Structure 1
Amino acid sequence: MEGSLDITLLMVITVVAGIAAQVIADYLKVPSIVFLLSFGILLGPSGLGVIHPSLLGSGLEVMVSLSVALILFEGGLNLQLREVEEVSSSLRNLVTIGSLITLLGGGMAAHWLSEFPWQIAFLYASLVVVTGPTVIAPLLKQVGADRKVSTLLEGEGVIIDPVGAILAVVVLNIVLRGNADPYTIISGLTLRLGIGGAIGVGGGWLLGLLLKKAEFLSEDLKNLSVLAGLWGLFGAAQTLLNESGLMTAVAAGIMLRVASVPEERLLRRFKNQLSILAISVLFILLSADLSIASIFALGPGGFLTVLVLMFVVRPINIIVSTWNSDLNWRQKAFLSWVAPRGIVAASVASLFSISLTQQGINGGDAIKALVFLTIILTVFVQGLTARWVAGWLKVRSDEASGAMIVGCNAFGRQLAHLLKNRGEDVVMIDANPDYCQQARSENLRVYQTSALDMEALNSAGVSSVGTFLTVTSNLEVNSVLAERVNEEFHPPRVLAAFPTKADPKPGTDTPISPEIKRAFSPKLSIKKWNQYLAKSEVKVNETVLDTDEGKCQKQRNHLRALAKAGTLTPMLVERQDQIRIAKADEDWQPGDRVIYLLHIPKPVAAEPTPEKV
């Protein structure tokens, strides 16, 4: 009874510490792994001695395996396949040639600098081949890197995790058995990837079919059925061939994404929450089990090994893997800087340390210490500086320009001209042939297609624009379309024109995602402004807000009063030489240039007075 109480208390403290770390990281806008590692070490035997993962025994290995499967599945489910196609050649090179470069470069650095035996050195290198979506995804969200860079890093993190983990297992078997011929390495890696991928693709297809056909299942049961199905597939693959389950998890997630199930958004949200919980618990437990003394025992050679991996091996990897790509030097420099290691490297290193110790082979604790040192240095150095580096290299998505406007009505065309006259690239989308013809006659670039066709939007270039905006007269279509495009393509800025209603219907007053912003004005009526423009009752005007805060506030109040009355509609805001489409909740600042439409009704002609007889 006392032992079970100790384990219960262990798990309670672990969960509380893990979620607390996530909350603090979210508040401070830094990678959560920074606090997860810090809390785990602080609470572990090397710190306060509150958490003792050894109490879990073999249960820790089970938790690690199931949690890693869930994390990799969630990564595959969130992978943006359309965007991956644009960087597929570079991604393929990173996973294949890049893995080999990291394996060779990391192995040589560990042997010559940390003085590891060759086999142990290459075992370490195989463990740090992975980067990890658990660190990359939240880091990129905070950094706001441009789409190509984000897609390449996220794709690398998702796909290279099972490849690296399986490669590490093959290298471990070589260390344990002493058989290091190339055929054993290649066949072992290929067989596990092939079997795992086949089971994942087949199982993912069946899960997608279940979600589409099993209408009798509730939303909650569908999510839990997918979780049970994932672990069932993972267990089947592991039983068939050890460590093939990692590829199964990724392939099942990708296949379920391809299936486009109706509940995909809710499923991704559910799996994301489970993944956050799993990451929080695992990092706390694994870092608590780390001996700080073993890290210091590595000496200067250990630190030099990691530095070479970060600043020599990674840049070479990126240069070779992206040699024939259309990425510019700034994007390649950022890719070279960012490669933090995550939960897969930590969990596999912990399990390998146990295996080597059980087999009586020295080096298990040293490998684990060096892997965790790699995680600590890459996360702290790269994670905490990534936003600054992205800004310095000008690869942040908020600097992306150009706009895609859905709605070729008079209001949409007027906005397009305002943007075009200020040097912005604009593309318009509409299914109405008359509207499209009018836009073409005004020398605007138009695609005549349904905006609900995601493939058509992709062909029109939605993945490369800085702003996506819907200004159709159908308010429900505006918000639904903006939500879907945000989920599919993640443009830097997504806006929808829809006013506040006195009695809104659920889902029509505000967008589901906080990333989607209401455009222009809360009281905007697209239909009315189309009529004003048709009657030539609109004047384009602009105001530069005073740099004095007091005078600026008066100007703001005046403009907002006119907007509330429906007489004025803010269209663009120019700040520090950057032009942006105005948002309804825009907080205008002193010095801003506000470009707006002003309604000036034409005087009504007086009726002639009847002549007196």
Structure 2
Amino acid sequence: MEESFTLTLLIIITVFAGISSQVLGEFFKIPSIVFLLIFGVLLGRDGLGILQPELLGVGLEVLVALAVAIILFEGGLNLELKQLDKVSGSLRNLVTIGTLITFIFGGMAAHWLAEFPWEIAFLYASLVVVTGPTVVGPLLKQVAVDKRVATLLEGEGVLIDPVGAILAVVVLDTILNSSAYSLEIVTGLLFRLGIGAIIGGVSGWLLGSFQKNANFVPEELKNLVVLAGVWGTFGLSQMIISESGLMATVTAGIVVRASGIPEERLLLRFKGQLTVLCVSVLFILLAADLSIDSIFALGWGSVFTVLVLMFLVRPLSILICTWNSDLNWRQKTFLAWIAPRGIVSASVASLFSILLTQNGINGGDSIKGLVFLTIMMTVFAQGLSAGAVANLLKIKSSYAGGAVIVGCNQLGRLIGRIYQNQGESVVLIDTDKDACEKAKQDNLPVFESSGLDPEVMEQAGITSVGTLVALTNNGDVNLMIAQRAIEEFAPPKVLAVFPKQNDNNVKANKQKINQPFINELPVKTWNQYLQDGLFRLGKTVIRGKGDAIDFQQVHIQALIASGEMLPLLVRRNGKLDIIQANEEWKLGDEIIYLLHDPRPQLLKRLSGVSASSRLNLEKLPKVEEIPLSVNIKQA
């Protein structure tokens, strides 16, 4: 009974420490693995001694295997094949040539600098050829870099994991079976990859077909069916040939994603949550089992080994693998710097340490210590500096202009015509045939379809525009469209008109959805104003300093609060963008707005403002040119 309680307490503390690390990572905007390593070591055998992973026995190996299977499946599930196609040549080279370069030169560095025997040196090199998708993914969410660079890093992290893990197993088999030939090593690697890919492909197709056709099964149960299928795929592949299961799970994830299953976002969310839990638990347990003395015993030679990997081997690999690509030197430099190691390296190294010791081969603790040293140095150095390096190299996602507007009502068409008139790209989407016809008459590009259709969204160019705005008359539908867009495409700016009662849910889920123009926009009311011609369209420039700007803000906000003014767009630093609710305007901002003008008295009420340049509407069909343009009187 006491032993059972001890194990229960072990799991509880592990989960609590792991999730706390994830929360701290989100709060401080740094990779959570930093806190996972700190908490794991602090609570482990060389720290407070609270966590003792060895009590799990062989259960730790089982836990590692099943958790890694989920992690790699989720990685494959998140890969976007259409995006990968844009960097396919470089990605192929990184997974093949890049692996070989890291394996050879990493092994040489470990032998000559860390003074490892050749066999152990190359076993270490095989463990660190992989980059960590569980580190790279969150890192790229925090540091928005060029899309091709992000795609290449994510693709490399997912696809190279099974290759590296299988390579490490083949090298270990060679060490344990000294009579193995080089040909056997190569054929063993290719055979495992091939068998895993075939089994994973078939399994992914079956899972995808089940998801699409088993309508009698509720969505929540379908997600659990996929989980069972992933573990079943892993187990079957492992039974046929050892260590082929990792390739099978990655392939299954890629095929399931490519099959276009319904409610894909629910599966992605479910698997994402499972992956966070698996990564949290594994890293805490593996770090807790780490001997700090074994790391210090490695000496400075091991530090130099990792530095060679970071500053010589990785840049050489990127240089060769991207030689014929159209990536510029800034993008290549960032790729050369970002290669943090993660959970696959740690888990496989921990298992190998046990196997080497069981077979009477020295070096188990040393190789585990050097792998964790590599993880620590790469994560701390590269993970914490990624944002600064991206800024220095100027490869952060550049401003994406234009908009996708869901809703071909009067307001949506007006904004579309203003965008078009200002030389910006714009596309409208609506299911209303008559509204779409009116948009076509205004020479606006339009898709007669649902904004919930990801294929239509992609055809509309959501991956390349700066803003998605949902302006239909149904606030709940608008919110649903915005949520789906974030999950599927993550555009830079997502706006939606939705009821106030949903605002807390949006904030609680940390979804980056804001209200356009003003809070709780009465879409139907303003559409009616536009239809009846009870409006004036104009622009003003924010001028003045200090109190003068504040006065302008107060004056404009008073008109907005009265329901007489609707701010639409702002041009700031030459960039046109849709205004979001409660946005603070800055000196030099050019505000394009609508005025509800049912009475002549409105102009008298605005008599305290001077006229300014007016908006050129010559190219805006069916919108009369209005001479009104206000420049709020300076205080």
TM-score, normalisation: structure 2: 0.86
Number of the residue aligned with 1:226 = 226
Distance 1:425 1:247 in 2: 42
SS at match of 2:570: strand
Distance 2:410 2:467 in 1: 19
CA shift in 2, pair 1:47/1:499, >3 Å: closer
Number of the residue aligned with 1:609 = none
Number of the residue aligned with 1:282 = 282
Number of the residue aligned with 2:589 = 593
What does 1:191-340 correspond to in 2, within 5 Å? Answer: 191-340=191-340
Distance 1:522 1:187 in 2: 63
Distance 1:136 1:567 in 2: 48
Letter paired with 2:246? L
Q: CA contact under 8 A between 1:94 and 1:317: conserved in structure 2? A: yes
SS at match of 2:463: helix
Superposed displacement of residue 100, structure 1 = 1.4
Unaligned runs of 5+ in 1: 606-613
Superposed displacement of residue 560, structure 1 = 3.0
Q: CA contact under 8 A between 1:523 and 1:566: conserved in structure 2? A: no
Range with greater deviation from structure 2 (563-572 or 270-279): 563-572
Q: CA contact under 8 A between 1:523 and 1:564: conserved in structure 2? A: no
1:354-379 deviation digits (Å, cap 9, x = unpaired)? 11111122222221111111100111
SS at match of 2:556: helix
Number of the residue aligned with 2:577 = 580
Number of the residue aligned with 1:608 = none
Letter paired with 1:329? W
SS at match of 1:246: helix
Is 1:519 the counterpart of 2:506? The answer is no
Range with greater deviation from structure 2 (106-115 or 202-211): 202-211
Distance 1:437 1:8 in 2: 65
Aligned mate of 1:540, from 538, 541, 556: 538
Superposed displacement of residue 349, structure 1 = 0.6
Q: CA contact under 8 A between 2:113 and 2:305: conserved in structure 1? A: yes
Superposed displacement of residue 20, structure 1 = 1.4
Letter paired with 1:463? T
Q: CA contact under 8 A between 2:265 and 2:484: conserved in structure 1? A: no
Distance 2:509 2:479 in 1: 8
Number of the residue aligned with 1:6 = 6
Q: CA contact under 8 A between 2:413 and 2:439: conserved in structure 1? A: no
What does 1:10-25 correspond to in 2, within 5 Å? Answer: 10-25=10-25
- Aligned-residue Cα RMSD (Å) equals 3.0
CA shift in 2, pair 1:509/1:285, >3 Å: closer
Superposed displacement of residue 276, structure 1 = 1.2
Q: CA contact under 8 A between 1:500 and 1:509: conserved in structure 2? A: no
Distance 1:419 1:312 in 2: 48
CA shift in 2, pair 1:105/1:459, >3 Å: farther
What does 1:463-612 correspond to in 2, within 5 Å? Answer: 463-472=463-472, 478-496=478-496, 498=497, 500=499, 514-526=511-523, 529=526, 532=529, 535=533, 537-544=535-542, 547-548=545-546, 551-575=548-572, 578-586=575-583, 588-591=584-587, 593-599=589-595, 601=597
Superposed displacement of residue 558, structure 1 = 3.2
Superposed displacement of residue 547, structure 1 = 4.3
Q: CA contact under 8 A between 1:573 and 1:593: conserved in structure 2? A: yes
The alignment of Structure 1 onto Structure 2 pairs a total of residues equal to 596
Letter paired with 2:228? A
CA shift in 2, pair 1:598/1:275, >3 Å: same
Superposed displacement of residue 398, structure 1 = 6.3
Letter paired with 1:258? A
Number of the residue aligned with 1:342 = 342
Percent of pairs with identical residues: 56
Distance 1:31 1:55 in 2: 29
Letter paired with 2:237? A
1:417-461 deviation digits (Å, cap 9, x = unpaired)? 555666645455567664454443xxx6x3555464544543453
Superposed displacement of residue 71, structure 1 = 1.0
Number of the residue aligned with 1:151 = 151
CA shift in 2, pair 1:110/1:176, >3 Å: same
Superposed displacement of residue 39, structure 1 = 0.7
SS at match of 1:96: helix
Distance 1:529 1:264 in 2: 35
SS at match of 1:463: coil
SS at match of 2:165: helix
Unaligned runs of 5+ in 2: 602-635
Distance 1:523 1:559 in 2: 18
Superposed displacement of residue 551, structure 1 = 4.8
Number of the residue aligned with 1:44 = 44
1:513-551 deviation digits (Å, cap 9, x = unpaired)? 712322222343555545655638322212416542x55
Superposed displacement of residue 594, structure 1 = 4.9
